[in-house]
Structure 1
Amino acid sequence: TEMPMSQEPFFIIAFGYVKKAAAMANKELGTIPADVADALIWACDQLIDGKYREQFVTDWLQGGAGTSTNMNCNEVICNL
């Protein structure tokens, strides 16, 4: 579509909620250390609040499993 994810704010917000839920669940299960989970949760909250959208550069609509979109989101979260 030649339209980066940054132009679809609700898509990024939804990704933030999904990644936040995963971090919270993994924290509760003890799968990841609490400090790591808290950092991920904070980063997800930043996305949910509308920050760092310009960092989402991949096309939001693509074929396959959406691997590039997921990797782009993971990179943004991990670098905050």
Structure 2
Amino acid sequence: MNAAKITGIILIVIGLAGLFTGGFSFTKNTTAAKIGPIELKVQEKESINIPQWLSLGALALGGLVLVIGFRKP
């Protein structure tokens, strides 16, 4: 397999993952206050949405790169 085929497959997988999940969330730990030996820690839940047009673009670009990768020079 050459680099174009691998890149195309990776783009298609990323595009499908973006379409099916729609985004992801994670927890961020921060220190809100520190007074002497006492620390106040806060957990914030962050959420990132992946636009549908970006997922479709990754699918289309992956398909294009995959087709071009199968062509013989």
If the length of structure 2 is used for normalisation, what is the TM-score?
A: 0.50
Partner of 2:12: 20
Runs of 4+ in structure 1 over 3 Å off: none
Structure 1: tracts of 5 or more residues without a match: 1-8, 52-80
Query: Please, which runs of 5 or more residues in structure 2 have no aligned partner?
Result: 24-49
- Pairwise CA RMSD: 1.8
Matched with 2:58 is 40
Report percent identity of matched pairs: 12
The structure richer in helix per residue is: 1
Larger Rg: 1 or 2?
2
TM-score (norm 1): 0.46
The one of the two structures with greater contact order (alpha-carbon pairs below 8 A, sep at least 6) is 2
Name whichever structure is richer in strand by fraction: 2
